[in-house]
Chains A and B, each alone.
Chain A
Amino acid sequence: MDEETWELRLYVAGQTTKSMLALANLKSYCERHLKGRYQLEVIDLLVNPQLAEGDQILAIPTLVRKVPSPIRKIIGDLSNQERVLVGLDIRAIGHS
């Protein structure tokens, strides 16, 4: 399995419903599938707008998988678990 630590970044813009939902969804997926192997950084672009350019953020919310490479991006409120897992290339553990 993947031994390295996953680095995930979630870009949000303020405490919007979509952002909160995305954050909640992401946390639940990570706890289930990447427990202890991930770092999650939440970046609020309203606070740090200069960070948007670096990761080419357009849509909000955007989840960026920095490590492992290659960089993957998932936009939206992450409500579809299957798509998020496929998108991040996480093998579903205990998923029936």
Chain B
Amino acid sequence: MPDQPSSSSTPLSQLPKALTGIEGLDEITEGGLPLGRPTLVCGSAGCGKTLLGIEFLVRGILDYDEPGVLMAFEETAAELAANVASLGFDLPQLQADKKLRLDHVHIDRSEIDETGEYDLEGLFIRLGYAIDSIGAKRVVLDTIESLFSGFSNEALLRSEIRRLFRWLKDKGVTTVITAERGEGTLTRQGLEEYVSDCVILLDNRVIDQVTTRRLRIVKYRGSTHGTNEYPYIITEDGISVLPVTSLKLEHKVSDEVISTGVADLDAMFRRGGLYQGSSTLITGTAGTAKTTLGAAFALAACQRGERTMLFAFEESPAQLLRNMATVGLDLVPFVDSGLLRIEASRPTLNGLERHLVTIHRLIGQFKPHTVIIDPISNLISVGSISEVQSMLTRLVDFLKVQGINALFTALISGGRGQQEIAQEGISSLVDTWIHVRDLEGVGERNRGISILKARGMGHSNQVREFVVTEQGIRLLDVLVGPGGIITGASRLTQHIQEQAQQIAAGQEAERRDRELERKRRVLEATIANLRTEFETVEEELRLVNSAEQQRQQTLTEDRRQLGQNFSARPPDSANGSGA
């Protein structure tokens, strides 16, 4: 065979594998089906065995340029082509391009008589011819067990089937063999005995009226593989397996911080917001503005220019937009500009897996930077707790790995609420857990918000009261009363009391001012009095002084005149002698 791998000479190298191209399956099988060997796909009716086979071929042709042969024992080529046309697989075109060969094996026991010995060489020749005519690398036998209805010699059939698988291996084609599931065994005819390289089990069960499909790799010789049951669904694009729990915790982290959309809430985080690419859970009882918080987050993301996707499981987009507009969160322009996409659907519309796949696909298409799911708890109504848990794990993991800022809201019932959510396991997955709740006091309800956890970031431990106003969400300042933090009417009472106190204090201050003024005036008056008194004294003194002076002057004058009378004497001596 031209593509026969030479790796058999190097035993340490990994088992060569052929990628199936089927979403998720290659991840579980860690690289695809064993190359050049047969793989058994078994499952009950309606599991999508045939589809898996066809998709394996079609993807092989389209994605890996490996032509394929489909040998169909149950349906004709035309039927098969019609069945998968809705998935966008154009089998007639592929056949025309010599990439695909469909061989319908018709077995009708009523037409066939058996006499004497025979073998199934005709089947080998047909298959060999089909493979060689297009150089096929992939073969699907769907469903080979039909042979058992056509031939009575079971011992011979078994040995021939064993020979067929051997022969296919020797031919080096990667083969998928589908088989119906049997009672207590993987296949009705015990084919798993012959195909020992890889066995995939498909399962289709109905739990609570919801169909869930599961895929499990029972066996993969020479290779490690995911061992769990993985849900898969059949979408418009074919089979999609969700292997998300197989992911390792290797996602990149960012040191950037983004806003929650509520400035006051940001302030409760030490770094002023949430880490970029982290996931946040908002839990709360009914009517605690979870959706509004979610919308605020969406708005903030849009304002940062990020593509944002909002999955609404409760409200229609129009209703959501209207309601949010009333609280000042105008999302309409962003919806119009295509930055924000709102996907609304009823949770009961689909099974859980389908929801998950839908979310995956829409995220894959839209490539948002921020995703809001409102509320995640509504999904719980469509599955059992363990299913929901595994699904949510997958979802959170998926978003984290993509580095998408995720915000989930979850409705919880009062009392045991936190326990419930913890049971669903999501609380341990998210990085930040914000809890909003009713603070029921004397005859009223108020909303309180608190941060239960924030990985890698300090945060406030307070329960902050918040109000939804026409301008959005506003957190109120913390008021500590005698009995702890107070809210609502108590807050108002406190406020009024404080106002009264303030007024009283103001009045007191005024009174003191007036008193001071009075004192000042009194003192000033006293000062004025004293000054007047002083002036009086001063004046008196001055009067006395001037009188004295006058007296002196008069005296001097008198003496001078006396001196003139006695002119014989010199004036000086006259003065001196007078003393």
Query: Given A52-B122, A52-B129, are A75 and B114 neighbors across the interface (CB < 8 Å)?
Result: yes
**Is the Cβ of A58 less than 8 Å from the Cβ of B115?**
no
**Is the Cβ of B122 less than 8 Å from the Cβ of A74?**
no
**Is the Cβ of B106 less than 8 Å from the Cβ of A59?**
no
Nearest-neighbour CB distance to chain A for B476, whole angstroms, equals 81
Q: B107, B117, B129, B151: which has the most chain A beta carbons within 10 Å?
A: B117
Q: Which residues of B contact A59 (CB under 8 A)?
A: 118-123, 151
Nearest-neighbour CB distance to chain A for B43, whole angstroms, equals 25
Query: Given A45-B125, A52-B125, are A58 and B120 neighbors across the interface (CB < 8 Å)?
Result: yes
Q: Which residues of B contact A75 (CB under 8 A)?
A: 112-115, 118, 151
- The answer to whether the Cβ of B103 comes within 8 Å of any Cβ in the partner chain is yes
**In the bound complex, CA of A56 to CA of B295 (Å):** 64
Nearest-neighbour CB distance to chain B for A76, whole angstroms, equals 4
Q: Which residues of A contact B151 (CB under 8 A)?
A: 59, 75
Which single member of B105, B115, B150 contacts A87 (CB below 8 Å)?
Answer: B115
B143-156 vs A, CB cutoff 8 Å, 1 = contact: the mask equals: 00001001100000
**Is the Cβ of A76 less than 8 Å from the Cβ of B106?**
no
Query: Given A46-B125, A49-B125, A73-B112, are A56 and B105 neighbors across the interface (CB < 8 Å)?
Result: yes
Query: Given A49-B128, A49-B129, A50-B129, are A60 and B115 neighbors across the interface (CB < 8 Å)?
Result: no
Q: Which residues of A contact B147 (CB under 8 A)?
A: 58
Q: Which residues of B contact A79 (CB under 8 A)?
A: 115-117
Q: Which residues of A contact B121 (CB under 8 A)?
A: 13, 16, 45, 59-60
How many residues in B have their beta carbons less than 8 Å from beta carbons of A?
25
How many residues in A have their beta carbons less than 8 Å from beta carbons of B?
35
Nearest-neighbour CB distance to chain A for B509, whole angstroms, equals 108
**Is the Cβ of B122 less than 8 Å from the Cβ of A57?**
yes
**In the bound complex, CA of A57 to CA of B129 (Å):** 13
Q: B114, B121, B128: which has the most chain A beta carbons within 10 Å?
A: B121
- The answer to whether the Cβ of B126 comes within 8 Å of any Cβ in the partner chain is yes
- The answer to whether the Cβ of A22 comes within 8 Å of any Cβ in the partner chain is yes
- The answer to whether the Cβ of A8 comes within 8 Å of any Cβ in the partner chain is no
Q: Which residues of A contact B103 (CB under 8 A)?
A: 53
**Is the Cβ of A62 less than 8 Å from the Cβ of B122?**
yes
Which single member of B107, B111, B116, B129 contacts A76 (CB below 8 Å)?
Answer: B116
Query: Given A11-B122, A49-B129, A52-B129, are A58 and B105 neighbors across the interface (CB < 8 Å)?
Result: yes
**In the bound complex, CA of A96 to CA of B123 (Å):** 38
- The answer to whether the Cβ of A78 comes within 8 Å of any Cβ in the partner chain is yes
Q: Which residues of B contact A11 (CB under 8 A)?
A: 122
**Is the Cβ of B116 less than 8 Å from the Cβ of A78?**
yes
**In the bound complex, CA of A16 to CA of B119 (Å):** 11
Query: Given A45-B121, A71-B111, A72-B111, are A57 and B126 neighbors across the interface (CB < 8 Å)?
Result: yes
The residue in chain B whose Cβ has the minimal distance to the Cβ of A11 is: B122
Query: Given A52-B129, A56-B105, A58-B147, are A73 and B118 neighbors across the interface (CB < 8 Å)?
Result: no
Q: Which residues of B contact A62 (CB under 8 A)?
A: 118, 122
Which single member of A18, A84, A87 contacts B117 (CB below 8 Å)?
Answer: A18
**Is the Cβ of B125 less than 8 Å from the Cβ of A73?**
no
**In the bound complex, CA of A57 to CA of B106 (Å):** 9
**In the bound complex, CA of A61 to CA of B107 (Å):** 16
A65-96 vs B, CB cutoff 8 Å, 1 = contact: the mask equals: 00000111111111110011011000000000
**Is the Cβ of A77 less than 8 Å from the Cβ of B118?**
yes
**In the bound complex, CA of A83 to CA of B117 (Å):** 13
Which single member of A60, A72, A74 contacts B114 (CB below 8 Å)?
Answer: A74
Q: Which residues of B contact A86 (CB under 8 A)?
A: 113
**Is the Cβ of B113 less than 8 Å from the Cβ of A72?**
yes
Q: Which residues of B contact A73 (CB under 8 A)?
A: 111-113
**Is the Cβ of A83 less than 8 Å from the Cβ of B120?**
no
**In the bound complex, CA of A1 to CA of B107 (Å):** 31
B69-112 vs A, CB cutoff 8 Å, 1 = contact: the mask equals: 00000000000000000000000000000000001011100011
Nearest-neighbour CB distance to chain B for A47, whole angstroms, equals 10
Nearest-neighbour CB distance to chain B for A59, whole angstroms, equals 4
Q: Which residues of B contact A76 (CB under 8 A)?
A: 114-118
**In the bound complex, CA of A78 to CA of B147 (Å):** 21
Q: Which residues of A contact B114 (CB under 8 A)?
A: 74-76, 83
**Is the Cβ of A60 less than 8 Å from the Cβ of B120?**
yes
**Is the Cβ of B111 less than 8 Å from the Cβ of A58?**
no
A6-52 with Cβ < 8 A to chain B: 11, 13, 16, 18, 21-22, 25, 45-46, 49-50, 52
Which single member of A16, A46, A70, A78 contacts B115 (CB below 8 Å)?
Answer: A78
Can you spell out 23 A-B residue pairs with CB atoms less than 8 angstroms apart?
A11-B122, A13-B125, A49-B129, A52-B122, A53-B126, A56-B106, A57-B122, A58-B122, A60-B120, A60-B125, A61-B118, A62-B122, A70-B111, A73-B111, A74-B115, A75-B114, A75-B115, A75-B151, A76-B116, A78-B116, A79-B115, A83-B113, A83-B114
- The interface of chain A, by Cβ under 8 A from chain B, is 11, 13, 16, 18, 21-22, 25, 45-46, 49-50, 52-53, 56-62, 70-80, 83-84, 86-87
